[in-house]
């Protein structure tokens, strides 16, 4: 099962994470939000991803504008900031009442009548996932969402959720420095669930030639193929994803049209088996 605009028949090349999209970009040739959305559509990046907790759904809605019918619009619910403003001050609410209130708020802010894919943003320790998914399924029956997704969950969560209602996508980080999701791949393939691989460049850390365990091999390969370290890191996710049994959609985030084009270029880089083995060896050694 794969994801594409309005249908689930053809997977996009990759998605576009909009977590850092802000109003500051309007009028900037490289960072205008509407320009970014249009540029993404023009190059085949039609899956746009945001979340209630990012606080920018209204901005995303304005940026999408008249392009609504050309994209797969995704958002998430369930994670809420505390009053202190500290990064570690947050909690999860995933009870049925929150599900119903959250979707109505997201649709209003995004100025749309439905979402193509709606994720539980984080597993809850308080609400059984069956209850959350049952409430999400009711949203689908009501026409408010087209498909259900999960993020920051366990394999047990995925199986329990899928038994209540088919799950279309699971969003988890997959990068050279975070490979735990590889344990999910057989189960996702078995159940026909797509992996949406967020932060494939390690939240930006893999864009740099120092400061991480794979910096040297990344820099060496990047020099050989005429790319940046970040592009090689993204290319690694693309190639490993193409070799997986199920569907994998990398989801790099950017607010820059220039970086968007660089990310698309990365999807076309073909790493050699030696390149892949070197990168795998370094990261496996770090995990040992």
Mean pLDDT of 224-250: 96
Q: Is 157 left (phi over 0), alpha (psi -120 to 50) or beta?
A: alpha
**Which of 54, 80, 118, 119 does the annotation list as catalytic?**
54
- pLDDT tens column, 273-288: 999 999 999 887 766 6
pLDDT of 210 > 70? The answer is no
Task: Band the pLDDT of 1: cuts 50, 70, 90.
Answer: very low
Q: List, in order of start, the domains of the chain with CATH numbers.
A: 15-206+240-270 (3.20.20.100)
Report the percent of the chain where pLDDT is more than 90: 84
Q: Quick check: 224 pLDDT over 90?
A: yes
What is the radius of gyration, based on Cα positions, of the chain? 19
Is 80 tagged catalytic?
no
Q: What tens digit of pLDDT does each residue of 150-189 get?
A: 999 999 999 999 999 999 999 999 999 999 999 999 999 9
Contact 179, 279 (CB under 8 A): no
Query: Residue 215: pLDDT above 80?
Result: yes
Specify the pLDDT at position 288: 60
pLDDT at 2: 40
What is the rounded distance in angstroms from the CA atom of residue 79 to the CA atom of residue 73?
19
């Amino acid at each position: 099962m794969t994801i594409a605009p309005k249908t689930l028949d053809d997977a996009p090349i990759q998605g576009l994470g909009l977590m850092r999209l802000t109003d500051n970009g309007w009028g900037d040739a490289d960072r205008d939000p509407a320009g970014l959305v249009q540029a993404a559509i023009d190059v085949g990046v039609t899956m746009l991803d945001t979340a209630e907790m990012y606080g920018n759904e209204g901005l995303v809605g304005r940026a999408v504008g008249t392009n609504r019918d050309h994209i797969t619009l995704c958002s998430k619910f369930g994670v809420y900031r505390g009053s202190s403003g500290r990064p570690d001050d947050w909690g999860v609410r995933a009870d049925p009442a929150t599900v119903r209130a959250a979707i109505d708020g997201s649709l209003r802010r995004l100025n749309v009548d439905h979402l193509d894919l709606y994720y539980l943003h984080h597993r809850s320790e308080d609400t059984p996932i069956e209850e959350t998914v049952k409430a999400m399924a009711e949203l689908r029956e009501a026409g408010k969402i087209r498909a259900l997704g999960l993020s920051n969950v366990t394999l047990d969560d995925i199986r329990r959720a899928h038994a209540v209602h088919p799950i279309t996508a699971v969003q988890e980080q997959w990068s050279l420095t975070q490979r735990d999701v590889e344990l999910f791949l057989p189960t996702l393939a078995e159940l026909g669930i797509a992996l949406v691989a967020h932060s494939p460049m390690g939240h930006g850390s893999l864009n740099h030639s120092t400061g991480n365990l794979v910096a040297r091999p990344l820099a060496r390969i990047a020099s050989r193929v005429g790319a940046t370290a970040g592009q090689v890191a993204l290319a690694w996710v693309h190639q490993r994803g193409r070799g997986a049994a199920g569907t994998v959609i990398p989801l790099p985030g950017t607010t820059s049209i220039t970086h968007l084009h660089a990310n698309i270029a990365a999807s076309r880089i073909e790493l050699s088996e030696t390149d892949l083995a070197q990168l795998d060896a370094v990261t496996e050694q770090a995990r040992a």
